Amino acid sequence: MVDQKVGSPAVEDHPLVKSLRAILKELDDQYERERQNLIATLPNTGVKDRALAMLESRHHQRRENYSRELAALLEQRSVGSHPV
């Protein structure tokens, strides 16, 4: 069987894939910094729990579009490399 990807750049090397992965990593890093800040500064109360839950919800919302775009791009490039 001949590998149809020989001579073509790997999907992971595509500039848009790299860009989306970098954005997602930055969002994750920012979330973790904010989370650690809340843990360190708020007392152990219901307020802290609600703030952490709100932060997590916002994080998932911010990641959603980028994750969806990345998944679609990876699927498209995967399908595109295998003719029907």
DSSP single-letter state for residue 11: G
Q: What is the average pLDDT value for the chain, to the nearest integer?
A: 85
pTM for the model: 0.76
Mean pLDDT lowest for which of 7-16, 25-34, 38-47?
7-16
Q: What are the domain boundaries of the chain?
A: 12-79
pLDDT of residue 3: 39
pLDDT of residue 6: 43
36-73 CB burial, b ≥16 within 10 A, e <16:
eeeeeeeeeeeeeeebeeeeeeebeebbeebeebbeee
Q: What percent of the chain has pLDDT over 70?
A: 82
Q: Which regions of 1-84 does DSSP assign to beta strands (E)?
A: none
pLDDT of residue 13: 83
pLDDT beyond 70 at 79 = no
pLDDT of residue 76: 83
